[in-house]
Amino acid sequence: MTDIESKIAKALGKLRMAKVSSILDDGHAIDIQLTDYTGDVWEYKIDGRGDFTMTEVIFYAKRFIDESNATPTIVLNYKVA
């Protein structure tokens, strides 16, 4: 996972990430695929080119996930003694 992908995953939070099957960054755009096989792509600004700031990408990604019908996967976090 790239640095940008990690930052987006952290910004989305655990509940939204439970609906995400993948986040891909190709250096110019973020592609988010959900567990219901839907997805969306946002081209972010780099060197003055692109459509969205990273803040806008996160805003629209949150809205996309919240409005989706994707089924959350179960995420178990536990510590091993």
| pLDDT one-digit tens code per residue, 36-47 | 999 999 999 888
pLDDT tens-digit profile of 61-73? 999 999 999 999 8
Beta bridge partners of 12: none
| % pLDDT > 70, the chain | 91
| 25 in a structural domain | yes
Give the single-character DSSP code of 78.
Answer: -
Kindly report the pTM of this predicted structure: 0.84
Range of the domain at 44: 3-66
Q: What percent of the chain has pLDDT over 90?
A: 72
**Residue 80 is assigned to a structural domain of this protein:** no
Has residue 28 been placed in a domain? yes
Measured in Å, how far apart are the chain's first and last C-alpha atoms? 27
The pLDDT of 45-50, averaged and rounded, is: 82
Report CA torsion sign: 6, 28, 61, 41.
negative
Q: Please name which of 62, 80, 69 lies closest in space to residue 15, comparing C-alpha atoms.
A: 62
Q: How many domains does the chain have?
A: 1
73 within some domain: no
